[in-house]
Amino acid sequence: MGAGAHGTSRLGWLALLPAALFVFAAGLYLTEGAPLVLLVIPWAPSLGIDLTLHFDGLSLMFILLITGIGSFVFVYAAGYMAGDPRRGRLFVLLLLFMTAMLGCVTADNLIALFVFWELTSLTSFMLVGFKHEDEGSRKSAQQALFITGGGGLVLLAGLILLGDIGGSFSVVALMESRDAWIGDPRLPAALVLIFIGAFTKSAQFPFHFWLPNAMSAPTPVSAYLHSATMVKLGIYLLGRLHPAFNDLLLWQVVLVSVGGVTAALAMALTLRERDLKRILAWSTVSALGTLVMLIGVPGDGAATATAAFLLAHALYKAPLFFVAGNVDHATGTRRIDDLAGLAPVMPLTAGAALLAGISMAGMPLSFGFVAKDMIAVAKSEGEVYAWVGYSSLFVSAVSVAVAGVAAIRIFWHRGGKHDVGVHECGWALTLPPLAIAALGILFGPLPHLVDPLIGAAAEAMRPALAFEGLSFSLEDGAALGALAVAAAVGLGIYLFWDRLHAALEALPWLDRFGPEAAYRGAVAAIPAAAAVTPRLQNGSLVAYAAMLAVFVVAVLVAALWLAPPGLWPAGQWPSLAVAGACLAIVAAAAAVCVLRDSFVLLLASGLVGLGCALVFLFLGAPDLAFTQFAVEVAFVVVIAAILLRVRRLDLDPAGPQRAWTRAVVAIAFGAVAAGLLLAAAAGPIDGTLAQYFNSRAVPEANGRNVVNVILVDFRAVDTLGEIAVVAVSFIAAAPLLRLARERARRKAEARAR
């Protein structure tokens, strides 16, 4: 894992993996077409869960973005992390993240999609917190995980509810049977839950603030996760479900409103920043809001605009993040006040910034211009609200200003406080931004090169769409007029950037309100739980047992209160042997209440367990009886050994206890437990489950002992979990046992001396 020539890590060869996947996906589409089922692996067939990889136009677009941008990210990371001893961990995490992303955009099953979805949150957490020695990185990673991971759990509830409504967890099956379940009254609840999951992942209001804070991650991570891939997973999910919900008023209103508010608010917050990466991050949030809004806009043009803008944004935002990384790498700062006049010493980086900035501003001869033209067409077709048009003008204008800051102010203005020794970065840091930004310019005058990709993605989001291809024209007076207005306003914002920033900075009360302030307040309130802990965790085993007993009594009383009538026994009497065993249990329990010597009390409690074993034996369950005998004997022997050892320690006696409170808790617990047992044993017993296991034990598990078959075969995963818990407990206790042996050895040596 050393560094090769020109300060580039040899791990950069890993870029061949995403590059090979890029070629494979493109070749598969060209030869086989789409849609296509690549793989079907049963997972939990009884629950309708499997791992089916489905390949269509929308999947293809995201696969090509993930692998194409990923290839350049790996090359860039090889130069950016050269000489860093942690670079191996970064590449492993990037590979895991790429795998999770590919699984998410190809999974047809909603539950499998959720698993990959949460895996992206976990890998993002580790990547954002890559510099874990820095407190800011740790807090940013924690915030990203809280919001995206928590939103993922809400999404799971929505996906399960949607699957239950549609009768399938397959996205393809749900889309095909849409007319059969679209009127279900539970659907609005499912959509709201899905909205929350998608909005948290794609940083939509009110969850927008986590993305700029995640800029503490290394630049390769920012370029990959937070501009081109992970934050677009919410967009992917909404686009994937769009064919089923595109004509629902709830779908349109929520997406247009939330997307429009996010796009405008994020651009306003951009003006408060001085850090170049955070400026780019807020503009990314705005772009994500625009994408969400486009998905909600009715009409055929919205799908084409969404697909075009997805590609255009990746082709200009990833290079700009690379540029920010190069500037930071060369000068040691990302603060725009300290950066100017870098073009003569960093010409390649300046060229990449200029190409990407042209596309971001939507200037002619760029693919950004084509995408923004498609957005304007979509809005006119969808007849969206007037305020959306006004906000779009503001968003476009600030986009022009941000492009000016990233491409002109830093490289072509005079001034700056950087060191005289600043020089251009190596090829691994300059090739990726130049190559990607050049594609953003190439596809502008030649949009037909990406017609198959854009058309397939648009048709996947809107199956009835008849895609006619993208067009590039400088003869549309309305489009050029809108561009001229946005450019003029953007130029004004660019020229007055510092004054606008100073005006917003003079309003510190803005930080005391809003979603981010609410998040900070919630996190700050967590330590308040420490005031409750000493009262509950007071070190008294008696208190712990009493709290547990009170809780169980409350639960059992609620169960008995809610139980249907007719559960109490009527005329059912046990056999003489069972009655004798029950009397023995009662006698042993009574002895436990009156005995004072702890050792004798332990033996009496052991008799309770042995009496239970006799009940099992007399009721025809010898295997349970023998298991109970073995467990009870082992328990008594182990606890007896511990008691004998504790007596030698000569510990101080426990503090005084209130006998009447202990008696009340004990009597209440015993009475409620007895009542619940009587209720459970009463009435006719449903033998369906017993018949099922009796009929299947021999043919399916080759065992005649039904209880053992249930434990080992039918409940194999549960039993495996119990074994794992015991094994982990033993591993955890092993150091304590070694410490005890070491102390015993030292004491023996001391006595011998």
Query: Per-residue DSSP letters for 67-133?
Result: HHHHHHHHHHHHHHTTT-TTHHHHHHHHHHHHHHHHHHHHB-BHHHHHHHHHHHHHHHHHHHTSSTT
pLDDT at residue 402, as a whole number: 92
Alpha carbons 106 and 129: distance in angstroms, whole number: 27
Q: Which of 531, 563, 580 is the last residue of a domain?
A: 531
Asked if 344 and 409 count as a contact pair (C-beta separation under 8 A), the reply is: no
Return the pLDDT at 6: 47
Cβ burial of 72 (10 Å; 0-12, 13-18, 19+) is buried
Q: Average pLDDT for residues 75-83, to the nearest whole number?
A: 89
Residue finishing a domain among 531, 552, 579? 531
The predicted pLDDT at position 364 comes to: 87
Spatial separation of the C-alpha atoms in residues 503 and 514, rounded to whole Å: 19
Which DSSP letter does residue 275 get?
A: B
Q: Please tell me the predicted confidence (pLDDT) of residue 193.
A: 96
What is the reported pLDDT for 527? 75
The more confident residue out of 655 and 427 is: 427
DSSP letter string, 366-417: SHHHHHHHHHHHHHHHHT--HHHHHHHHHHHHHHHHHHHIIIIIHHHSS---
Give 4's pLDDT tier (boundaries 50, 70, 90): very low
Q: At CA 722, angle to CA 122 and CA 548, rounded to 5?
A: 90
Q: What is the rounded average pLDDT of the residues 719-732?
A: 84
Cβ neighbours, 10 Å, residue 189: 15
User: Does the pLDDT at position 200 exceed 70?
Assistant: yes
Position 618 confidence tier, pLDDT thresholds 50, 70, 90: confident
Q: Which of 29-43, 312-326, 472-486 has the highest mean pLDDT?
A: 312-326
CA distances from 452 to 23, 67, 747 (A): 15, 18, 80
Per-residue pLDDT averaged across 74-83, rounded?
90
Answer whether residue 141 is part of any domain.
no
Q: How many domains does the chain have?
A: 2
- pLDDT for position 7: 63
Q: Which of these ranges, 70-84, 133-147, 273-287, 608-622, has the smallest mean pLDDT? A: 608-622
Backbone conformation region of residue 365, classed left if phi is above 0, alpha if psi is from -120 to 50, else beta? left
State which amino acid sits at residue 507.
L
Q: For all residues of the chain together, what is the average pLDDT? A: 83
Compute the distance between CA of residue 52 and CA of residue 109 in angstroms, rounded to an integer: 6
- Largest pairwise CA distance in the chain: 102
Q: Please tell me which residue, 392 or 182, carries the higher pLDDT value.
A: 182
Residue 462 lies in a domain: yes
Burial of 182 (0-12, 13-18, 19+ CB in 10 A): middle
| Residue 433 · residue 322 · CB < 8 Å | yes
pLDDT tens-digit profile of 315-342? 999 999 999 999 998 888 888 888 888 9
Instruction: Say what the pLDDT of residue 561 is.
Output: 65
Position with higher pLDDT, 43 vs 65: 65
Contacts of 130 (CB under 8 A, 6+ apart): 86, 89, 90, 93, 137, 217, 218, 221
Specify the 3-state DSSP secondary structure of 753: coil
Examine residue 477 and state whether it is found in any structural domain, yes or no. Answer: yes
Q: What global pTM score does this model have?
A: 0.76
Q: What is the pLDDT of residue 3?
A: 44
Domain presence at residue 276: yes
The answer to the question of residue 727 being in a domain is: yes
Q: Report how many helices (DSSP H) and strands (DSSP E) the chain contains, helices first.
A: 32, 2
Asked if the model's pLDDT at residue 727 lies above 70, the reply is yes
Burial 372-406 (b: 16+ CB within 10 A, else e): bbbbbbbbeebebeeebeebbbbbbbbbbbbbbbb
The predicted pLDDT at position 697 comes to 83
Give residue 629's pLDDT. Answer: 82
With cut-offs at 50, 70 and 90, classify the pLDDT of residue 299.
confident
Residue 85 pLDDT greater than 80, yes or no? yes
Residue 359: per-residue pLDDT: 93
CB of 262 closer than 8 Å to CB of 286: yes
The reply to whether 362 falls in a domain is yes
- Counting residues of the chain whose pLDDT is more than 90, the rounded percentage is 36
pLDDT at residue 652, rounded to an integer: 57
* Residue 73, both tokens: 């990210």
Point out the least confidently predicted range of 395-409, 428-442, 561-575.
561-575
Position with higher pLDDT, 360 vs 11: 360
Best CA proximity match to 364, nearest among 445, 304, 469: 445
Residue 576 lies in a domain: no
Rounded CA-CA distance 454/469 in Å is 8
Above 90 in pLDDT, residue 668? Answer: no
Residue 381 pLDDT greater than 80, yes or no: no
pLDDT at 571: 47
Q: In this structure, are residues 324 and 219 in contact, taking their beta carbons and an 8 Å threshold?
A: yes
Residue 560 confidence class, pLDDT cut points 50, 70, 90: low
Q: Is residue 260 part of a domain?
A: no
For residue 748, what are the domain limits?
690-753
User: Would you place residue 735 in the very low, low, confident or very high pLDDT band (cuts 50, 70, 90)?
Assistant: confident
Of 506, 531, 556, which residue sits at a domain end? 531
Q: Tell me the C-alpha distance between 643 and 74, whole Å.
A: 61
